[in-house]
Amino acid sequence: GAVVSQHPSWVICKSGTSVKIECRSLDFQATTMFWYRQFPKQSLMLMATSNEGSKATYEQGVEKDKFLINHASLTLSTLTVTSAHPEDSSFYICSASQGAQATEAFFGQGTRLTVV
């Protein structure tokens, strides 16, 4: 099956710094990538949808200036958590799709962000 890789798998950063998470589709071209956030022992919540070459579409309540998403190529999308604070600590998961539908997407292994 298709492989989606996230990097890093985990990261610890100081409060106030920015952190970049990468999501790569290794063996297919991803027209659309989806970013999810998962709080401990909770479900996944869609944060935003990104399409290659255009601005991301953010879900209601997600601060686009806080969570910068770039989808510069068909194999790479990045999520940058800017001026991170402890409440941003979470598990972030991306998925990538050749088409526009989340139903066709494959998930990455996730990134554990801890802000201290």
Partner 1 sequence: AQSVTQPDIHITVSEGASLELRCNYSYGATPYLFWYVQSPGQGLQLLLKYFSGDTLVQGIKGFEAEFKRSQSSFNLRKPSVHWSDAAEYFCAGGTDKLIFGTGTRLQVFP
Binding residues for partner 1, rule: CB under 8 A, are 6, 34, 41-46, 49, 91, 93, 95, 100-103, 105-110, 112
Give the nearer residue to partner 1 in terms of CB position, either 75 or 95: 95
Which residues have C-beta within 8 Å of that of residue 41, sequence separation ≥ 6? none
Q: Tell the smallest beta-carbon distance from residue 115 to partner 1 (Å).
A: 17
- At closest approach, how far in Å is the CB of 31 from partner 1? 13
Least separation in angstroms between CB 66 and partner 1: 21
User: What secondary structure does DSSP assign to 58-97, as a single string?
Assistant: EPTT--TTTEEEEEEETTEEEEEE-S--GGG-EEEEEEEE
